[in-house]
Amino acid sequence: MQMAQSARIALDVAGRILLAVNRQGVVLWSTPQAAGLLKRVLGVFDTEAASWTGTVKPRLADLVAQRASDRVIVSAGGANVLASWLGEAGPGEYLLHLSDGAAANDHTLLKQKLELTAREAEVLLWTAQGKSNRDIAEILDCSPRTVNKHLEQIYSKLGVENRTAAAAIAVRLLIDK
C-alpha cells in the first residue's frame, strides 16, 4: 500500500496525465494533470455526473476490454480527450494515458506544414511548449540524446540554428491555424 501511494505521488510530480480505472470504467484515481485536462474539456471533473456515467465510463470500460490506444473518451465543445491503454497497475486496476485531442491536431499540422516526421513534429511541439530535452525525452520515452538528434534534423529542415527559432516558427504556425 505504501509503495503504491509512493508511485502515485511520483507520477503526480512527474506531470504525467494518467487515469486508473477498473474493468467497469470506474475511476480509481487520477493524476492532477488528468483531472485538470478532463475538467478543462468537460467544465467539471465529476465521475458521478450523468454525462460521465452515461458516456465516458462505458468508453473507458471498452478501452480497457480492448486494450486500445488513442480512443476519444470525452468530446465537448469541439475539444477531445484521447485515452490509451498503458497496462495493469494492480489487481483490477488499469492505467490509461490521456492526451489532449487539440495537441494531436497541432502535431499533425506541424508534420504536414513543415514536412517533418511524426517524431520530429512531436519534439518540436514539446519544444514550442518550453520543455527541455530531458523533459521531452521523458514524455516520449527516449533518451535526451535522441531528442537532440531530432532537434538537429528539425533545425536543418527549417533552416534555423537554434531551438528558440524553431519554436518561434512552430508557435507562429499554430497561432495562425
- Compute the distance between CA of residue 38 and CA of residue 27 in angstroms, rounded to an integer: 12
Query: What's the first-to-final CA gap in the chain, in angstroms?
Result: 47
Domains of the chain, start order: 2-100 (3.30.450.20), 115-175 (1.10.10.10)
Q: Where are the alpha helices (DSSP H) in 15-117?
A: 32-42, 50-51, 57-66, 101-114
Query: Whole-prediction pTM value?
Result: 0.56
Per-residue pLDDT of 116-141, as tens digits, reads 998 999 999 989 988 899 988 888 88
Instruction: Say which residues have a Cβ less than 8 Å from residue 115's Cβ, sequence separation at least 6.
Output: 157
* Strand locations in the chain (E): 18-21, 27-30, 71-76, 79-90, 93-100
For residue 22, pLDDT beyond 70: yes
- Compute the distance between CA of residue 37 and CA of residue 89 in angstroms, rounded to an integer: 21
